[in-house]
Amino acid sequence: MDKAQFRRELQKCLLSITSEQRSEKSRKACRNLVSIPQFQSASMIMMFLSLPNEVDTSEAILNAWQLGKAVAVPKVSWQQRHMIAVQINSLETGISTEASGLQNPIAGVPVAFEEIDLVVTPGLGFDKKGNRLGRGGSYYDRFFANTELKASRCGFGFAEQLVETIPVAEHDEPVDIVVTEKEIIYIKESRETGIQ
C-alpha cells in the first residue's frame, strides 16, 4: 500500500471514532503522555493544537502549565511552506481556527530549536519502528531535520493509528516514542541498539 492509500485508510479510521470515544481516548492518552520521563523532565514542550478528529492535546497542555513548563505550538506559514514554534500561555486567546480546522497561533514568542526539550507530533499513522505518516506537507519532517533541534520526538495519537508498517521515503523523519491511550512505545533505544 502506498502513502496515499494509507492516508485514506487512516483518515477513514479517525472519522469512525465518535466524539465521546475521542474524549475518553484523549484523556487516557494525555495521562500516558504526561507520565513519560521526557515530559516530566522537559522545561519547554512543543505540542500541536488538535484538528477536530485528532487526539485532543488540551489536557496535556494544561497539565504542562500546572507543572510549571513552557508550551510552544506550531505556527504554520502556508505561503512559505514553513513551520516555527511559538510559545503560548493560553488556549482561550490568540489562536485562530482556519477553514481546514487547523488552529494557528496569531501571536506568540518564537522559540529557538535548541530551547525545545520535547516535540509532541501528530500524524495519521505510526509504526513501532518510529516511522510517522503525516498529512503530506512534510512540515514536521523539515522541522525535525534542523540540526539545532535536539529534542525528543514523540508521536501522539490513538491506538487505531498504530499500524504494522508505515511506508517511508528518504526525507521522512522518525519519532523516538509513540504514545496512545493504550501504550507507550520507546523506540530510540531499540533503533540505536538494533533490539526490538
pLDDT along the chain (196 residues), means of 10: 79 90 98 98 96 94 98 85 90 83 85 97 93 82 90 96 87 93 86 43
Q: Give DSSP secondary structure letters for the chain.
A: --HHHHHHHHHHHHHTS-HHHHHHHHHHHHHHHHHSHHHHH-SEEE-PPPPTTSPP-HHHHHHHHHTT-EEEEEEEETTTTEEEEEEES-SSSSEEE-TTS-EEESS-EEE-GGG-SEEEE--SEE-TTS-EE-SSS-HHHHHHT-TT---EEEEE--GGGB-S-----TT----SEEE-SS-EEE-HHHHHH---
- What homologous superfamily does CATH list for 3-193? NagB/RpiA/CoA transferase-like (3.40.50.10420)
- Domain locations along the chain: 3-193
- Model pLDDT, residue 195: 43
- Model pLDDT, residue 135: 77
- Model pLDDT, residue 188: 76
